[in-house]
Amino acid sequence: MKLDVDSCISRLYAGQLLDEWEVTQICEQTHALLAAEPNVVPISAPVTVVGDVHGQFFDLLEIFQIGGPPPSTNYLFLGDYVDRGHHSVETISLLCALKLRYPQRIHLLRGNHESRNITRTYGFYAECQTKYGSAQAWRAFTDLFDALALAVIIDDSIFCVHGGLSPSIVHVDQLRALDRFGEIPHEGALADLVWSDPGDDDTPGFARSQRGAGFTFGACVVDRFLHANGMAHVLRAHQLCMEGYVVLFNDRLSTVWSAPNYCYRCGNVASVLYVDPYLQRDFVTFDAAPESCAAAATPAPAPDAMYFL
Protein backbone atom coordinates (compact mmCIF):
# COMPACT_ATOMS: atom_id res chain seq x y z
CA MET A 1 0.00 0.00 0.00
CA LYS A 2 1.08 3.58 -0.67
CA LEU A 3 1.88 5.68 2.37
CA ASP A 4 -0.27 8.80 2.80
CA VAL A 5 1.87 10.99 5.06
CA ASP A 6 -0.72 13.75 5.39
CA SER A 7 -3.32 11.23 6.53
CA CYS A 8 -0.86 9.79 9.04
CA ILE A 9 -0.14 13.25 10.46
CA SER A 10 -3.85 14.07 10.78
CA ARG A 11 -4.58 10.83 12.60
CA LEU A 12 -1.58 11.23 14.87
CA TYR A 13 -2.66 14.75 15.83
CA ALA A 14 -5.98 13.18 16.78
CA GLY A 15 -4.18 10.72 19.05
CA GLN A 16 -4.72 7.67 16.83
CA LEU A 17 -2.16 4.90 16.58
CA LEU A 18 -0.82 4.23 13.07
CA ASP A 19 -0.91 0.78 11.53
CA GLU A 20 2.34 -1.14 11.86
CA TRP A 21 2.97 -1.10 8.09
CA GLU A 22 2.62 2.70 8.12
CA VAL A 23 5.13 3.02 10.97
CA THR A 24 7.57 0.77 9.10
CA GLN A 25 7.28 2.82 5.89
CA ILE A 26 7.60 6.12 7.73
CA CYS A 27 10.74 4.86 9.45
CA GLU A 28 12.28 3.56 6.23
CA GLN A 29 11.61 6.76 4.31
CA THR A 30 12.66 9.04 7.16
CA HIS A 31 15.82 6.98 7.69
CA ALA A 32 16.85 7.67 4.09
CA LEU A 33 16.19 11.38 4.62
CA LEU A 34 18.17 11.53 7.86
CA ALA A 35 21.06 9.47 6.50
CA ALA A 36 21.60 12.12 3.81
CA GLU A 37 22.13 14.80 6.47
CA PRO A 38 25.62 15.55 7.81
CA ASN A 39 26.62 14.85 11.41
CA VAL A 40 26.41 18.59 12.08
CA VAL A 41 23.46 20.28 10.39
CA PRO A 42 23.62 24.04 9.73
CA ILE A 43 20.30 25.85 10.11
CA SER A 44 19.16 29.46 10.26
CA ALA A 45 17.11 31.37 12.81
CA PRO A 46 14.33 31.95 13.62
CA VAL A 47 13.85 28.54 15.19
CA THR A 48 12.02 27.12 18.20
CA VAL A 49 14.17 24.65 20.15
CA VAL A 50 12.63 21.78 22.12
CA GLY A 51 14.37 19.70 24.79
CA ASP A 52 13.49 16.25 26.13
CA VAL A 53 9.90 15.15 25.46
CA HIS A 54 10.09 11.53 26.71
CA GLY A 55 6.88 10.16 25.29
CA GLN A 56 4.65 12.85 26.79
CA PHE A 57 2.61 13.13 23.61
CA PHE A 58 -0.03 15.56 24.82
CA ASP A 59 2.68 17.92 26.01
CA LEU A 60 4.21 17.73 22.53
CA LEU A 61 0.86 18.85 21.14
CA GLU A 62 0.89 21.65 23.72
CA ILE A 63 4.30 22.72 22.36
CA PHE A 64 2.81 23.01 18.89
CA GLN A 65 0.00 25.11 20.36
CA ILE A 66 2.53 27.42 22.03
CA GLY A 67 5.09 27.67 19.24
CA GLY A 68 2.82 27.26 16.24
CA PRO A 69 2.29 24.15 14.12
CA PRO A 70 4.78 22.94 11.53
CA PRO A 71 5.54 24.07 8.89
CA SER A 72 4.65 27.62 9.98
CA THR A 73 7.29 27.32 12.72
CA ASN A 74 10.82 26.01 12.24
CA TYR A 75 11.56 23.42 14.97
CA LEU A 76 14.74 21.89 16.35
CA PHE A 77 14.30 18.91 18.71
CA LEU A 78 17.33 18.01 20.83
CA GLY A 79 16.56 14.30 21.37
CA ASP A 80 15.04 11.96 23.97
CA TYR A 81 11.69 11.52 22.26
CA VAL A 82 10.86 8.16 23.85
CA ASP A 83 10.86 6.29 27.20
CA ARG A 84 9.33 7.24 30.56
CA GLY A 85 6.06 8.68 29.18
CA HIS A 86 3.03 6.61 28.22
CA HIS A 87 2.88 7.65 24.54
CA SER A 88 6.37 7.24 23.13
CA VAL A 89 5.04 5.48 20.01
CA GLU A 90 2.68 8.33 19.15
CA THR A 91 5.36 10.94 19.94
CA ILE A 92 8.10 9.54 17.73
CA SER A 93 5.61 8.57 15.01
CA LEU A 94 4.38 12.16 14.76
CA LEU A 95 7.87 13.66 14.78
CA CYS A 96 9.08 11.27 12.07
CA ALA A 97 6.00 11.90 9.93
CA LEU A 98 6.49 15.66 10.28
CA LYS A 99 10.17 15.32 9.38
CA LEU A 100 9.22 13.32 6.30
CA ARG A 101 6.57 15.87 5.27
CA TYR A 102 8.52 19.05 6.12
CA PRO A 103 12.22 18.08 6.06
CA GLN A 104 13.53 21.66 6.13
CA ARG A 105 11.25 22.73 8.99
CA ILE A 106 11.70 19.84 11.44
CA HIS A 107 15.22 19.06 12.68
CA LEU A 108 15.82 16.02 14.89
CA LEU A 109 18.95 15.26 16.93
CA ARG A 110 19.88 12.04 18.70
CA GLY A 111 19.64 11.79 22.47
CA ASN A 112 20.92 9.11 24.80
CA HIS A 113 17.47 7.44 24.78
CA GLU A 114 17.57 6.97 21.00
CA SER A 115 19.31 3.67 21.67
CA ARG A 116 18.42 -0.01 21.58
CA ASN A 117 19.95 -0.66 24.99
CA ILE A 118 18.27 2.24 26.77
CA THR A 119 14.82 1.75 25.20
CA ARG A 120 14.79 -1.89 26.27
CA THR A 121 15.07 -0.73 29.88
CA TYR A 122 13.05 2.47 30.13
CA GLY A 123 9.77 1.69 28.43
CA PHE A 124 9.77 2.15 24.67
CA TYR A 125 10.39 -1.50 23.80
CA ALA A 126 7.60 -2.66 26.12
CA GLU A 127 5.24 -0.01 24.76
CA CYS A 128 5.85 -1.13 21.16
CA GLN A 129 5.20 -4.74 22.20
CA THR A 130 1.99 -3.77 23.97
CA LYS A 131 0.59 -1.57 21.20
CA TYR A 132 1.62 -3.68 18.19
CA GLY A 133 2.02 -7.17 19.61
CA SER A 134 5.56 -7.52 18.28
CA ALA A 135 8.94 -5.79 18.24
CA GLN A 136 8.75 -4.86 14.54
CA ALA A 137 7.91 -1.19 15.18
CA TRP A 138 10.63 -0.96 17.84
CA ARG A 139 13.19 -2.36 15.40
CA ALA A 140 12.10 0.10 12.71
CA PHE A 141 12.39 3.07 15.07
CA THR A 142 15.73 2.03 16.56
CA ASP A 143 17.17 1.49 13.08
CA LEU A 144 16.04 5.03 12.28
CA PHE A 145 17.70 6.35 15.46
CA ASP A 146 21.07 5.29 14.05
CA ALA A 147 20.72 7.92 11.32
CA LEU A 148 19.85 10.92 13.52
CA ALA A 149 22.26 13.85 13.32
CA LEU A 150 24.49 14.61 16.31
CA ALA A 151 24.48 18.41 16.40
CA VAL A 152 23.04 21.54 14.83
CA ILE A 153 24.72 24.93 14.47
CA ILE A 154 22.38 27.91 14.26
CA ASP A 155 23.80 30.68 12.06
CA ASP A 156 27.43 29.73 12.82
CA SER A 157 26.88 30.92 16.40
CA ILE A 158 24.86 28.53 18.60
CA PHE A 159 26.09 24.94 19.00
CA CYS A 160 23.17 22.61 19.74
CA VAL A 161 23.57 19.06 21.05
CA HIS A 162 21.60 16.71 23.28
CA GLY A 163 24.02 16.26 26.17
CA GLY A 164 27.25 18.19 26.11
CA LEU A 165 30.87 18.46 25.12
CA SER A 166 33.57 15.81 24.80
CA PRO A 167 37.30 15.80 25.55
CA SER A 168 37.68 14.07 22.18
CA ILE A 169 36.10 16.97 20.26
CA VAL A 170 38.07 20.21 20.26
CA HIS A 171 36.92 21.41 16.85
CA VAL A 172 33.58 20.82 15.15
CA ASP A 173 35.40 19.34 12.15
CA GLN A 174 36.26 16.34 14.35
CA LEU A 175 32.55 15.86 14.99
CA ARG A 176 31.81 16.07 11.29
CA ALA A 177 34.24 13.19 10.70
CA LEU A 178 32.63 10.74 13.17
CA ASP A 179 30.84 7.61 11.97
CA ARG A 180 27.47 8.09 13.65
CA PHE A 181 25.63 5.16 12.07
CA GLY A 182 25.13 2.49 14.70
CA GLU A 183 24.28 1.92 18.33
CA ILE A 184 25.54 4.53 20.81
CA PRO A 185 28.78 3.16 22.30
CA HIS A 186 29.47 3.14 26.03
CA GLU A 187 32.36 5.58 25.66
CA GLY A 188 33.98 7.86 23.13
CA ALA A 189 32.95 11.09 21.46
CA LEU A 190 29.50 9.95 20.33
CA ALA A 191 28.62 8.77 23.84
CA ASP A 192 29.94 12.00 25.34
CA LEU A 193 27.77 14.16 23.08
CA VAL A 194 24.55 12.49 24.26
CA TRP A 195 25.48 11.78 27.91
CA SER A 196 27.65 14.67 29.20
CA ASP A 197 26.47 17.49 31.49
CA PRO A 198 27.74 20.87 32.67
CA GLY A 199 29.20 20.71 36.16
CA ASP A 200 30.30 23.41 38.58
CA ASP A 201 31.34 26.77 37.20
CA ASP A 202 34.92 26.33 38.41
CA THR A 203 35.45 22.75 37.17
CA PRO A 204 38.90 23.02 35.53
CA GLY A 205 38.36 20.41 32.79
CA PHE A 206 36.44 17.19 32.22
CA ALA A 207 35.48 14.82 35.05
CA ARG A 208 33.82 11.42 34.79
CA SER A 209 30.06 11.66 35.13
CA GLN A 210 28.12 9.94 37.89
CA ARG A 211 25.69 8.81 35.20
CA GLY A 212 28.18 6.11 34.27
CA ALA A 213 28.73 7.53 30.77
CA GLY A 214 30.02 10.84 29.48
CA PHE A 215 31.65 13.65 31.46
CA THR A 216 30.90 16.77 33.42
CA PHE A 217 32.59 20.00 32.39
CA GLY A 218 32.85 23.59 33.57
CA ALA A 219 32.93 27.12 32.20
CA CYS A 220 36.53 26.97 31.02
CA VAL A 221 35.78 23.96 28.80
CA VAL A 222 32.80 25.77 27.28
CA ASP A 223 34.84 28.93 26.72
CA ARG A 224 37.66 26.98 25.01
CA PHE A 225 35.24 25.11 22.75
CA LEU A 226 33.36 28.26 21.74
CA HIS A 227 36.58 30.20 21.11
CA ALA A 228 38.11 27.38 19.04
CA ASN A 229 35.02 27.21 16.85
CA GLY A 230 34.13 30.90 16.63
CA MET A 231 30.75 30.45 18.30
CA ALA A 232 28.93 32.21 21.13
CA HIS A 233 26.69 29.70 22.93
CA VAL A 234 26.11 26.00 23.70
CA LEU A 235 22.47 24.90 23.79
CA ARG A 236 21.55 21.46 25.13
CA ALA A 237 18.86 19.41 26.88
CA HIS A 238 19.31 16.12 28.83
CA GLN A 239 18.85 17.40 32.41
CA LEU A 240 15.62 17.95 34.31
CA CYS A 241 15.18 21.65 35.15
CA MET A 242 12.47 22.36 37.70
CA GLU A 243 11.91 25.84 36.24
CA GLY A 244 12.02 24.55 32.65
CA TYR A 245 15.47 25.87 31.78
CA VAL A 246 18.84 26.86 33.22
CA VAL A 247 21.40 29.38 31.93
CA LEU A 248 24.99 28.90 33.07
CA PHE A 249 28.56 30.13 32.70
CA ASN A 250 27.88 33.83 32.14
CA ASP A 251 25.23 33.10 29.49
CA ARG A 252 27.51 30.79 27.49
CA LEU A 253 25.44 27.60 27.97
CA SER A 254 21.72 26.90 28.30
CA THR A 255 19.68 23.80 29.13
CA VAL A 256 16.11 23.54 27.80
CA TRP A 257 13.74 20.93 29.26
CA SER A 258 10.40 20.30 27.54
CA ALA A 259 8.68 17.54 29.54
CA PRO A 260 6.46 19.20 32.19
CA ASN A 261 5.70 17.20 35.33
CA TYR A 262 8.30 14.69 34.15
CA CYS A 263 7.17 11.07 34.56
CA TYR A 264 3.81 12.54 35.66
CA ARG A 265 5.24 13.02 39.15
CA CYS A 266 8.13 15.53 39.28
CA GLY A 267 6.10 18.75 39.46
CA ASN A 268 8.41 20.73 37.16
CA VAL A 269 7.41 23.24 34.54
CA ALA A 270 8.86 22.94 31.02
CA SER A 271 10.07 25.31 28.34
CA VAL A 272 10.85 25.80 24.69
CA LEU A 273 13.44 28.29 23.47
CA TYR A 274 12.70 30.75 20.70
CA VAL A 275 15.80 31.97 18.86
CA ASP A 276 14.91 35.06 16.84
CA PRO A 277 16.52 36.21 13.55
CA TYR A 278 19.03 38.27 15.55
CA LEU A 279 19.96 35.22 17.70
CA GLN A 280 18.30 36.64 20.80
CA ARG A 281 17.03 33.79 23.01
CA ASP A 282 13.67 33.79 24.77
CA PHE A 283 12.50 30.86 26.94
CA VAL A 284 8.74 30.25 27.00
CA THR A 285 7.62 28.13 29.96
CA PHE A 286 4.49 25.99 30.14
CA ASP A 287 2.73 23.49 32.39
CA ALA A 288 1.53 20.00 31.59
CA ALA A 289 -1.40 19.60 29.21
CA PRO A 290 -4.70 18.53 30.82
CA GLU A 291 -4.43 15.07 29.24
CA SER A 292 -0.96 14.65 30.75
CA CYS A 293 -2.32 15.70 34.12
CA ALA A 294 -4.88 12.89 33.81
CA ALA A 295 -2.02 10.47 33.12
CA ALA A 296 -0.62 11.31 36.56
CA ALA A 297 -3.13 8.78 37.92
CA THR A 298 -0.76 6.11 36.56
CA PRO A 299 2.67 7.73 36.86
CA ALA A 300 5.68 6.29 35.13
CA PRO A 301 8.35 4.62 37.26
CA ALA A 302 10.45 7.13 39.17
CA PRO A 303 13.60 8.15 37.29
CA ASP A 304 16.94 6.96 38.56
CA ALA A 305 18.83 9.45 40.70
CA MET A 306 21.24 10.09 37.83
CA TYR A 307 18.45 11.76 35.84
CA PHE A 308 18.23 14.50 38.44
CA LEU A 309 21.89 15.43 38.31
Is the separation of the CB atoms in 58 and 292 below 8 Å? yes
Q: Which run of H or E residues covers position 282?
A: strand 281-286
Q: Cβ of 94: how many Cβ atoms within 10 Å?
A: 25
Active site residues: 113
Buried b (16+ CB within 10 A) or exposed e, 102-112: beebbbbbbbb
Question: Which residue, among 87, 13, 54, has the nearest Cα to 257 in the 3D structure?
Answer: 54
Question: Which residue, among 273, 167, 152, 159, has the nearest Cα to 214 in the 3D structure?
Answer: 167
Q: What's the Cα-to-Cα distance from 288 to each of 54, 84, 202, rounded to whole Å?
A: 13, 15, 35
| Residues 307, 309: Cα–Cα separation, whole Å | 6
Please enumerate, as own/partner, the contacts of 294-299 that have beta carbons within 8 Å and a separation of 24 or more.
295/58, 295/85, 295/86, 295/264, 296/261, 296/264, 296/265, 298/86, 298/264, 299/263, 299/264, 299/265
CA angle (40 as vertex; 37, 41 as ends), nearest 5: 60
Question: Which residue, among 11, 91, 58, has the nearest Cα to 295 in the 3D structure?
Answer: 58
| Residues 286, 268: Cα–Cα separation, whole Å | 10
Is the separation of the CB atoms in 184 and 163 below 8 Å? no
Is the separation of the CB atoms in 276 and 242 below 8 Å? no
